[in-house]
Amino acid sequence: MKNVSYQRIYQSREYLSSLGHIRHRALFGGYSLAIEDTVFAMVAEGALYLRACEESASYCVNTQAPFLTFVKRGRPVLLNYYRVDDTLWQDRETLLTLGNYSLAAARREKVARYAQKRLRDLPNLNFQLETLLWEAGVKDEHSLKLLGAKACWLRLKERSPLLSIRVLFALEGAIAGLHEAALPAEIRRELTVWYKELEAESRLNQRGT
Average pLDDT per 10 consecutive residues for the chain, totaling 209 residues: 87 96 91 94 95 94 92 81 96 97 93 73 91 91 92 93 93 93 93 93 73
Whether 2-115 and 119-208 share one fold: the answer is no
Query: According to CATH, what is the number of the domain 119-208?
Result: 1.10.150.20
- Per-residue model confidence (pLDDT) at position 80: 93
- Rounded to whole angstroms, the Cα distance separating 17 from 169 reads 51
**What are the boundaries of each domain within the chain?**
2-115, 119-208
Is 54 in a helix, a strand, or coil? helix
Nearest 10 degrees: CA dihedral of 87, 88, 89, 94? 140
Burial of 2 (0-12, 13-18, 19+ CB in 10 A): exposed
- Per-residue model confidence (pLDDT) at position 114: 65
- Per-residue model confidence (pLDDT) at position 44: 93
- Per-residue model confidence (pLDDT) at position 34: 96
One-letter amino acid identity for 190? Answer: E
Q: How many residues does the chain have?
A: 209
Name which CATH class applies to 2-115. alpha beta
- Per-residue model confidence (pLDDT) at position 73: 72
Residues 6+ apart with CB under 8 A from 118: 130
- Per-residue model confidence (pLDDT) at position 117: 66
Closest by CA position to 56, among listed 69, 70, 41: 41
Closest by CA position to 194, among listed 182, 186, 184, 183: 186
